Amino acid sequence: MNSGWLLAPLATADGTIRSKIIDAHLMFDADVTVPIRHGRIDFDDATVEHVGPDSRMGVSRLGLYVDAPNGRSYLYQFPATPLEGVEFEHRGALLGPWVSDRGKLHLQAFAEAMLRQAPGGHGPGFTDQARLLLDRTSVSGDLQLADGPFAAPGVQAELAGRAEGRNAVRIHSEAVGRGLTAELPSVLVRNAVLESAGGKLLAGEITGAFKLRLIVEHDELRFEFDVANLKVTNMRLQRSREESA
């Protein structure tokens, strides 16, 4: 049974994530734009606009940060370094205070590394300041996933149809601290395999529209999943050798 993570559709994904922080008294009101190009976030291209001098986002060995006029604040602190999929910021000559390169995140490698670490539950994660900001942060965005294989524990398949606009993700939230919705209006999955102790459930092709809601209530996370126009072709059950013997 597959026990690892593979997120190849993130390798060349493209999109833009936009967020608005409203009445965030700890920092500032701000409009944040994070472009995603060819599976990579380049923080030199990310913008944090607000009244007064704009701030900058970046990634250091300690985590994801915002450099504001009143100093640097960390939004997410890494559980360990070095972390896969991260190019850390570079400073000017002789370790000067000026940052010449804000750093980059390679989505596939970074997401796979974070998911592999998740079961251990170790590491600082979101800072207290970031948690307060998320309750005042709305988000919208789009992400066009690439074609390619993906796998999670017990599941593997391939995304297809990028040229026709399939597997585009739309995300939105009025307050990220209370939840997030991700919609995929046109999904195309091929060669899907769902593994269990009794065998494998296989499907040649799956199409449909999917909506995933992540809801935060009393510090607990729950999921709601909607499916529309689902069509599955060439579905079959392959029993384990022990049962079929």
Mean per-residue pLDDT, 57-86: 87
Count Cα neighbours of 2 within 13 Å in the Cβ-side half-sphere: 17
Q: Tell me if 15 is assigned to some domain.
A: no
* Residues in CB range of 181: below 8 A, 6 or more apart: 171, 172, 173, 211, 212, 213, 214
At residue 207, the pLDDT reads: 98
CA 157 to chain centroid, in Å, comes to 19
pLDDT band at 123 (very low <50, low <70, confident <90, very high): low
Is the pLDDT at 3 greater than 60? The verdict is no
Is the pLDDT at 124 greater than 80? The verdict is no
In angstroms, rounded to a whole number, what is the distance separating the alpha carbons of residues 53 and 69? 7
Let me know: does 159 contact 189? Beta carbons within 8 Å: yes
Average pLDDT over the chain, rounded to an integer: 88
Count Cα neighbours of 74 within 13 Å in the Cβ-side half-sphere: 13
Q: Same domain for 147 and 109?
A: no
Q: Tell me if 14 is assigned to some domain.
A: no
At residue 99, the pLDDT reads: 87
Q: Same domain for 33 and 103?
A: yes
At residue 78, the pLDDT reads: 87
Is the pLDDT at 120 greater than 70? The verdict is no
Is the pLDDT at 23 greater than 80? The verdict is no
Least confident of 17-31, 178-192, 217-231: 17-31
Q: Among 135, 170, 185, which residue terminates a domain?
A: 135
Count of structural domains, the chain: 2
In angstroms, rounded to a whole number, what is the distance separating the alpha carbons of residues 9 and 183? 16
Mean per-residue pLDDT, 138-145: 97
Q: Among 135, 151, 182, which residue terminates a domain?
A: 135
Mean per-residue pLDDT, 122-135: 77
At residue 244, the pLDDT reads: 46
At residue 128, the pLDDT reads: 84
First to last CA, the chain: 19
Q: Tell me if 58 is assigned to some domain.
A: yes
In angstroms, rounded to a whole number, what is the distance separating the alpha carbons of residues 75 and 166? 32
At residue 82, the pLDDT reads: 65
Q: Same domain for 158 and 202?
A: yes
* pTM of the predicted model over 0.75: yes
Q: Same domain for 44 and 100?
A: yes
Domain that holds residue 202: 1-9+141-245
Q: Which long-range contacts (CB under 8 A, 24 or more apart) does 238-241 make?
A: 238/199, 238/200, 238/201, 238/202, 239/198, 239/199, 240/197, 240/198, 240/199
Count Cα neighbours of 44 within 13 Å in the Cβ-side half-sphere: 11
Helix (H) or strand (E) holding 168, with range, is strand 168-173
pLDDT band at 81 (very low <50, low <70, confident <90, very high): low
Q: Among 135, 160, 189, which residue terminates a domain?
A: 135
Q: Tell me if 16 is assigned to some domain.
A: no
